[in-house]
Amino acid sequence: MSDIHANLTALKSVLEDAGSRTPPYEAVWCLGDTVGYGPDPNECVELIRTLPGLVCLIGNHDEAALGMTQLTRFNHDARAAAAWTQDVLTEESASFLKALPSETSVDNFTMAHGSPRQPVWEYILDPRTADANFGEFETDYCLVGHSHLPLIFQRSSADALAISKTVAWNQASPLSPRMILNPGSVGQPRDMDPRAAYAILDLKSKTWEARRAAYEISEVQLRMLKAGLPERQALRLVAGW
Ligand code: ZN
């Protein structure tokens, strides 16, 4: 999963959806931006750290919440949300986030929030950018987040160009070398589908299953408005942009 963005209700619904499967999931890999935008940064950190086999990366919004990045790099709303997050973040949450790596690898999977070339900030949105990044990691697969868009890029040989693959929902699709995969965003999807996005990765059968989980968006919006977070950021959750 990636880009939870302090949306506890969405995170819980994803865990419920993933947890209702047999066999249950054994590990959670979280590709960054656990906080920022949403109303529940501490609650999300607290829940995340209890999950089995957790691998968690730092994202650009996590860095902003820790004061590790210039807030001028963000637009008006993101900056306001980052400043609010800085204010409410507990010391425990901050020290958890601060200790996270910006990239890592497990088995045959490299992970980065944005891209292997520029782990925290680069967006991989098109085959050209994917191509430039296939040379930046050694494993067969790379998992990224950051764009909030479920995407899959494949390059079948070193001299072939990357192609964008259609994401197949709710079906385990075979992985084949080499791929860059993005599960989309849990807490602020931007593909016009407001449901929380994530994926189930089966290491044994080498499959990727993109999934969506509906959640009670109005609850989150209410908490955002109560907290004084930007109204536009609450409204976008319903439309999924
Ligand atoms: Zn994000």
pLDDT digits (tens, 9 = 90+) for 70-81: 888 899 999 999
| 28 has pLDDT over 90 | yes
| 206 has pLDDT over 90 | yes
| 159 has pLDDT over 90 | no
| 22 has pLDDT over 90 | no
Cβ contact 187:2 at 8 Å: no
pLDDT band, very low/low/confident/very high, at 141 (cuts 50, 70, 90): very high
CA of 33 to the centre of ligand 1 (A): 5
CA of 144 to the centre of ligand 1 (A): 11
Cβ contact 174:140 at 8 Å: no
Q: Specify the CATH number of the domain 8-239.
A: 3.60.21.10
Per-residue pLDDT of 116-130, as tens digits, reads 999 999 999 999 999
CA of 3 to the centre of ligand 1 (A): 5
pLDDT at 72: 86
CA of 89 to the centre of ligand 1 (A): 17
Helices (H), the chain: 8-19, 41-48, 60-65, 76-88, 91-98, 127-134, 217-227, 231-239
Ion ligand 1: residues, CB within 5 A, are 3, 33
| 2 has pLDDT over 90 | yes
CA of 123 to the centre of ligand 1 (A): 10
State if pTM tops 0.75: yes
Share of residues in the chain with pLDDT > 70 (%): 100
CA of 177 to the centre of ligand 1 (A): 26
3-state helix, strand, coil in the chain (%, to 5): 30, 20, 50
Domain positions in the chain? 8-239
